């Protein structure tokens, strides 16, 4: 009799998984880590939609010229001015608002005096134009002030903000609507604290 050759019976259980190669594990870790870093950076650098987009065009001492898009409304500029006001009351540090220290060598603070102009024409925020305005160039001063859409002024503990040009000698003109005036030690009104979202598309 011939002996029948035994045929191995295939295993009914699943084949054991081959462990991932170390290089593959490293590549996956780098991929996941890179994605997390990119997402985190985008989250942290996301535009603040509670205020209209703005940029600091130039700065001359305590004078700061900012600009917003041409279609920015007075209400949106008011929201931006209220944010400057909030900073003045709470931290007195305008660094997060893109403003360099205006009194860097003052032991009493780096932002003891500041005047922020808001324009919707970035031509008025050119460094040469602001320098001429600061120097009192008569050919620039009048048109510069007429083009101001809003302002925030801070001197020690006193502040003022409004739509239109800064009043001369404290006397407002028909072109100016003063939004607030007082001291940064005064309590903020509820609307300035809440700052409802009235923003436009970010830059």
Residues 68 and 130 in one domain: yes
Rounded distance between C-alpha atoms, residue 76 and residue 107, angstroms: 35
How high is the pLDDT of residue 180?
A: 95
**Burial bucket for residue 128 (CB in 10 Å: 0-12, 13-18, 19+):** exposed
Residues 124 and 157 in one domain: yes
How high is the pLDDT of residue 43?
A: 39
Tens of pLDDT, residue by residue over 157-175, are 999 999 998 887 767 678 8
Tens of pLDDT, residue by residue over 168-203, are 776 767 889 999 999 999 998 876 555 544 433 334
Residues 35 and 112 in one domain: no
Q: How many helices (H) and strands (E) does the chain have?
A: 5, 6
Residues 112 and 39 in one domain: no
Residues 30 and 92 in one domain: no
Evaluate whether 182 touches 48 at the Cβ level (below 8 Å): no
Residues 71 and 170 in one domain: yes
Give the SS3 label for residue 42.
Answer: helix
Count CB-CB contacts under 10 A for residue 164: 20
Rounded distance between C-alpha atoms, residue 145 and residue 81, angstroms: 17
What's the number of domains the chain is made of? 2
Residues 61 and 139 in one domain: yes
Residues 80 and 178 in one domain: yes
Domain extent at residue 81:
55-194
Residues 100 and 177 in one domain: yes
Is 200 part of a structural domain of the chain?
Answer: no
Most distant CA pair in the chain: distance in Å? 125
CA angle 151, 48, 84 (to 5 degrees): 25
Residues 97 and 28 in one domain: no
How high is the pLDDT of residue 168?
A: 79
Residues 36 and 111 in one domain: no
| pLDDT < 70 positions in the chain | 1-20, 24-25, 27, 33-49, 170, 172, 191-203
Average pLDDT along the chain: 82
How high is the pLDDT of residue 47?
A: 45
């Amino acid at each position: 009799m011939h002996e029948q050759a035994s045929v191995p019976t295939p295993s009914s259980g699943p084949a054991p998984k081959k462990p991932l190669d170390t290089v593959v594990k490293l590549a996956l870790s780098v991929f996941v880590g890179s994605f997390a870093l990119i997402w985190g950076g985008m989250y942290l650098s996301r535009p603040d939609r509670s205020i209209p987009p703005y940029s600091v065009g130039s700065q001359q001492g305590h004078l700061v010229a900012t600009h917003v898009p041409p279609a920015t409304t007075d209400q949106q500029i008011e929201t931006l001015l209220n944010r400057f006001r909030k900073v003045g009351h709470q931290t007195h540090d305008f660094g997060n608002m893109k403003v360099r220290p205006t009194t860097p060598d003052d032991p009493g603070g780096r932002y003891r005096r500041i005047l922020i102009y808001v324009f919707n024409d970035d031509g008025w925020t050119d460094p040469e134009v602001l320098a001429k305005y600061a120097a009192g160039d008569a050919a620039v001063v009048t048109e510069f002030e007429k083009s101001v859409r809003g302002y925030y002024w801070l001197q020690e503990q006193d502040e003022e903000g409004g739509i239109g040009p800064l009043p001369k000698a404290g006397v407002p003109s028909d072109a100016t609507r003063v939004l607030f005036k007082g001291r940064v030690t005064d309590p903020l009104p509820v609307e300035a604290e809440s700052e409802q979202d009235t923003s436009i598309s970010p830059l």
